[in-house]
């Protein structure tokens, strides 16, 4: 998602109390920052943040961090955030490649990847958030028993991820090509893209991955 540049977006983000302005300074100190020892769950590429804000509202005992690289998109999320009475969620405008500089080893308990950009051309495969460029980063920041939850409508990206994830040493614990008609639908929170695509009749794919237990 890349919206037309909004004038003043950077300034609004820089002044927002909901955005962590210097996230690298919090590396290893996120629990201190939240003021509790609750688990920390992040969404990489949150877009306007509907999903992660809904989760934060439903689960006050979990800390959430939404990550988005484009200011214009993040700004839309902030407008919605301002209407909510919650204290367990913050946002960051960074690229996923910087995650290792922001979180210490095993500081994160779960990673959500929702409707990540598919980058269909082979020469762009490394930009996919489930490629071997990003999986080692998740491996570092995620607790040993942490999981990645990945949803997409894009069959090509899903098939690619069903291979790239095990190749990087993870185990696909569960997967479906039709989330909304599967046992995995229980408790499902829809993202913005999910609402749009499932409304068009497209099936949604989901997988849950953990570390490769066979390798231990």
Residue numbers at the binding site for ligand SAM (CB under 6 A): 1, 44-47, 67-70, 73, 95-96, 114-117, 129, 191-194
3-state SS class at 42 = strand
| Token pair for 161 | 């991820």
Specify whether the CB–CB gap between 113 and 42 falls below 8 A: no
Catalytically active residues, by annotation: 117
Neighbours of 67 (CB within 10 A): 24
Strand 142-152 and strand 108-114: the pairing is parallel
Give the 3-state secondary structure of 151-183: EECCHHHHHHHHHHHHHCCEEEEEEECCHHHCH
Judged by CB, which is closer to ligand SAM: 31, or 180?
A: 180
What contacts 115, CB < 8 A, 6 or more positions away?
A: 45, 47, 151, 152, 153, 154, 191, 193, 194, 197
Quick one: 163 exposed, middle or buried, by C-beta within 10 A (0-12, 13-18, 19+)?
exposed
User: Rounded to whole angstroms, how far apart are CA atoms 40 and 108?
Assistant: 5
| Token pair for 27 | 């590396």
Specify whether the CB–CB gap between 161 and 198 falls below 8 A: no
């Amino acid at each position: 998602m890349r919206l037309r540049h909004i004038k003043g977006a950077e300034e609004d983000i820089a002044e927002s109390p909901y955005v962590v302005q210097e996230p690298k300074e919090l590396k290893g100190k996120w629990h201190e920052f939240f003021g509790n020892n609750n688990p920390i769950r992040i969404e990489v590429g949150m877009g306007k943040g509907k999903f992660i804000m809904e989760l934060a509202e439903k689960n006050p005992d979990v800390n959430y961090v939404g990550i988005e690289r484009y200011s214009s998109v993040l700004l839309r999320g902030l407008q919605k955030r301002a209407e909510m009475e919650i204290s367990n969620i913050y946002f960051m405008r960074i690229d996923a490649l910087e995650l290792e500089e922001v979180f210490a080893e095993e500081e994160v308990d779960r990673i959500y990847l929702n409707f990540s950009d598919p980058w269909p051309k082979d020469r762009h495969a490394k930009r996919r958030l489930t490629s071997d460029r990003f999986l080692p980063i998740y491996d570092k920041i995620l607790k040993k028993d942490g999981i990645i939850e990945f949803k997409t409508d894009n069959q090509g990206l899903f098939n690619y991820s069903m291979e790239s994830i095990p190749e990087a040493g993870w185990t696909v614990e569960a997967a479906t090509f039709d989330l909304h008609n599967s046992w995995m639908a229980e408790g499902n929170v829809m993202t913005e893209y999910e609402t749009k695509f499932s409304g068009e009749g497209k099936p949604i794919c989901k997988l849950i991955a953990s570390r490769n237990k066979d390798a231990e």
